[in-house]
Structure 1
Amino acid sequence: MNTMTFESRGENAAAAPVANRAAIADDKAMLRAAAELTRDLVQPRPTLYWADLVGSAVVGYAALAVAVTVASTGWAVLAGVVAVLALYRGMSMIHEISHIKHAAVPGFRAGWNALIGVPMMIPSFMYEGVHNLHHAKTRYGTAEDPEYLPLALMRPWTLPVFILVSALAPIGLLIRYALLAPLSALSPRLREAVVARYSALSINPHFRRRAPQGEEKARWTRWEIVTSLWAIALLALTATGAVSLKAFAIFLAVGSGVALINQVRTLVAHLWENEGEPMSVTAQYLDTVNVPPPALLPVLWAPVGLRYHALHHLLPGLPYHALAEAHRRISKVLEQDSPYHKANYAGLPGLVGKLAAATMRGR
């Protein structure tokens, strides 16, 4: 869903030592090597997709059940952390749904919605048709990109606000599906606003989504109804005591934890240094981040291939399980002065520090 509007530094932005990304030309050797070295990696592996999804859901919901029922506070917290990490991994597969050819992994979108999208109130239509705009060469980093804000050029306070506001995501999603969805069915004007402003997993507060058409509209309507019924049922069961307030609060806390981790990952997915100009593919790559091995923690906070986010922008059609091998091949072939190596970073703390320092320089 859309977040709040953040204030730019305006004239002070010129003080920040940010590279002119829009002036970077494409490195044809890098683009050619990336394409040629990975042609045999483009086929998704359905068994792995399903195993990853089902495994994440089973572990996540089992841990959530333990957190709700166990008497020990320590064990409840530990189970809650496991639930957050497992469900976050499952949720992250929405990224794959927006890229894969669905015939290559039959039924996966429906399975993901049933196991993750509906229970967590993030049906796949909230990302499909939105994320692809982020990858459009003429849209990336511009005002028309739903997933971009020039965070490096904004006020320092925007970073903690950007992260903390995500903790309210479960409340916002409950309002979206338990209240706005049914009410908007009665009011065309409200429906227009709900579709345009509250039906996308975006961070650009100025982004307005177009109404779905044809098959997309039918699929959207089907999953929105199911998600709305689930949200209403959850509130009704809690109000009547069938679901305890403790269980409801833990469910919301786990949802907040998932949203917080995802927002931190989003914070370091790019350098956020573009001021709205169209960029070459190489410039987009250099504004994006890889966190390859030997770093270990990205397995948790950037799962399902998200640790290779810059590489993904070079090759958005590669399935997540192929990115590590693609990175190994490309890194081995390209010289050290290639732009490819300049998008690789050591880990989360350094990336957060780099972004925070960029905002501080322009105060």
Structure 2
Amino acid sequence: MEKTLDPAISVPAAAPRASREQFRASDDKVMLRLARDLTKDIADANPSIYWPDMLLSAGIGYAAMAGAILVSSVPMAIALGLISALALYRALMFIHELTHIHRNALPGFRLAWNVLVGIPMLVPSYMYEGVHTIHHKRTQYGTIEDPEYLPLALMKPWSLPLFVLVALLAPVAFLLRCAILLPLGAAIPPIRRLTWERFSALSINPDFRRRPPEGEMKGRVFWQEFGGFVWSWALIGSVFAFGWRPLLIALAIVSFTAVLNQLRTLVAHLWENEGEPMTVTAQFLDSVNVPPPGFAAELWAPVGLRYHALHHLMPSMPYHALPEAHRRLKGELGNASTYDGANHPGMLHLVGRIARSTMAVR
């Protein structure tokens, strides 16, 4: 259904392109109001989209991984490994949706995702749930309390390649965490506390310390950790049954997904905040949309993550509704609006912008 602008709201037709600094103290109330009013009819999660997308992505990913392990041709193994990595990356990114959708919106989806994707990839949903929502709190975004923020644009140039390359070690780190640290922590409380505070969250802020789980999260953590422990030792045991090749290929594929996700994280924000609280509009402009045209962003920022800035305006908006929400807001507010200030052409442009910023650091 086509939406029209409320005649009571006036939008400047040719305002200068907005900057984040303009909105440190106040918000663009017109944009915030439109984001709410123009998208009310598309705000519900659609099970007929979520379930097939997640299941098909996981199925293709595992089938291609099996093919990469079984084929003897190296070029074919590489091609199948790439397909597997991209498909499993898409399936894995549904962890982001699990943190935002209403608990009753998709019955059984969290359990199915953890059994099919989260635990096999050794990244169960509790590693994001209760953590990512802090990143969306107005008073904590971009501060030292934000687990998902580092002022990368204000750091030394060498920090960017290090930030990306460290992700290569993620699969081995997850395997050691589930196989070694979890059982040790069950017997030794200080190790349990350290593992929970420092290694139980998908965070990038080294100063972040996670608080103990509460309420129903305690039960989720227990069964997801138990599943990760069992699966990690099944993977280790597979070496004795099938040799090193299957496990090493699987780890290589997951390493590629981890690096791809780290690259996406690198360009999800402009990373220009120095730790002070920001308005919603300033947070929006520090975040990134990479809208169409172009298909590449759908590969490296799947499941709605190419609209990351828009997601910060409407965190509970389901991923499948974000393209339409973007179209409506862009159509109403135009090319010279605050909204357009968060729209960027692609990954290379963003990496270049952040890299240039780091080179100016003394």
| TM-score relative to the length of structure 1 | 0.93
Deviation per CA, 1:111-151, whole angstroms, max 9, x where unpaired? Answer: 00011101100000000000000000000000000000000
Moved more, 178-187 or 209-218: 209-218
Work out the CA distance in 2 between the residues paired with 1:30 and 1:183: 51
Q: 1:52 aligns to what?
A: 53
1:99 aligns to what?
A: 100
Q: What are the within-5 Å matches in structure 2 for residues 68-79 of structure 1?
A: 68-79=69-80
- Partner deviation per Cα, 1:150-171 (whole Å, 9 max, x = no partner): 0000000000000000000001
| CA deviation string 1:157-186 (max 9, x = no partner) | 000000000000001001110000001000
CA–CA separation in structure 2 for the residues paired with 1:296 and 1:218: 40
Deviations along 1:78-137, one digit per CA (max 9) or x if unpaired, are 000000000000000000000001311000000000111011000000000000000000
Unaligned runs of 5+ in 2: 1-18
Deviation at 1:24, TM superposition (A): 4.8
Structure-2 separation of matches of 1:253 and 1:298: 22
Q: Does residue 1:295 correspond to 2:294, yes or no?
A: yes
Q: In structure 2, give the amino acid aligned to 1:355.
A: I
CA RMSD of aligned residues (A): 1.2
What corresponds to 1:318 in structure 2?
317
Q: 1:244 Cα shift?
A: 2.2
The answer to whether the Cα contact below 8 Å between 1:185 and 1:191 also exists between their aligned partners in 2 is yes
- Code of the residue aligned with 1:137 in structure 2: it is R
Residue 102 of structure 1 aligns to a residue in which SS? coil
- Report the AA paired with residue 89 of structure 1: R
User: Given the superposition, is the C-alpha separation of residues 21 and 186 from structure 1 closer, same or farther in structure 2, using an over 3 Å criterion?
Assistant: farther
Opposite residue 319 of structure 2, the aligned amino acid is Y
* Unaligned residue ranges in structure 1 (runs of 5+): 1-17
Q: Find the counterpart in structure 2 of residue 124 from structure 1.
A: 125
Aligned amino acid, residue 273 of structure 1: E
| Residue in structure 1 matched with residue 12 of structure 2 by the alignment | none
Structure 1 residue 270, shift from structure 2 partner: 0.1
- The one-character-per-residue Cα deviations of 1:245-272 (angstroms, maximum 9, x if unpaired) are 1111001001100100000000000000
2:4 aligns with: none
Aligned residue for 1:264?
263
1:111 counterpart letter in structure 2: A
On the 8 A contact 2:21/2:282 being kept in 1, the answer is no
Q: Distance in 2 between matches of 1:21 and 1:312?
A: 21
Residue equivalent to 1:144? 145
Instruction: Tell me the matched-pair count.
Output: 344
SS of alignment partner, residue 95 of structure 1: helix
1:245 matched residue in structure 2? 244
CA distance in 2, matches of 1:137, 1:305: 21
1:331–1:340: 8 Å Cα contact kept in structure 2?
A: yes
Could you tell me how far apart the structure 2 residues matched to 1:126 and 1:132 are?
12
Q: Is the 8 A contact 1:290 1:310 kept in 2?
A: yes
1:218 aligns with 219
Give, in angstroms, the shift of residue 21 of structure 1: 7.4
Q: Which residue of 1 aligns with 2:11?
A: none
Deviations 1:268-316 (A, max 9, x none): 0000000000000000000000000002100100000000000000000
Secondary structure of the structure 2 residue equivalent to 1:185:
helix
In 2, Cα distance between equivalents of 1:290 and 1:299? 12
| CA gap 1:191/1:22 in 2 versus in 1, 3 angstroms | farther
CA contact (8 A) 1:141 1:276 kept: yes
- Between the aligned partners of 1:322 and 1:128, the Cα distance in structure 2 is 22
Letter in 2 for 1:331: K
Contact preservation (8 Å) 1:64, 1:83? yes
Q: Work out whether 1:167 is the aligned partner of 2:157.
A: no
- Are the equivalent residues in 2 in contact too, given 1:22–1:277 (CA < 8 A)? no
- Tell me the SS of whatever aligns to 1:336: coil
Dislocated runs of 4+, deviation >4 Å: 18-22
Change (3 A) 1:337 1:125: same
Q: 2: CA distance between counterparts of 1:295 and 1:90?
A: 21
Please give the secondary structure, in 1, of the residue aligned with 2:242.
coil
TM-score scaled by structure 2?
A: 0.93
Q: Secondary structure at the match of 1:112?
A: helix
CA shift for structure 1 position 236 = 1.9
What is the one-letter code of the residue matched to 1:327?
Answer: H
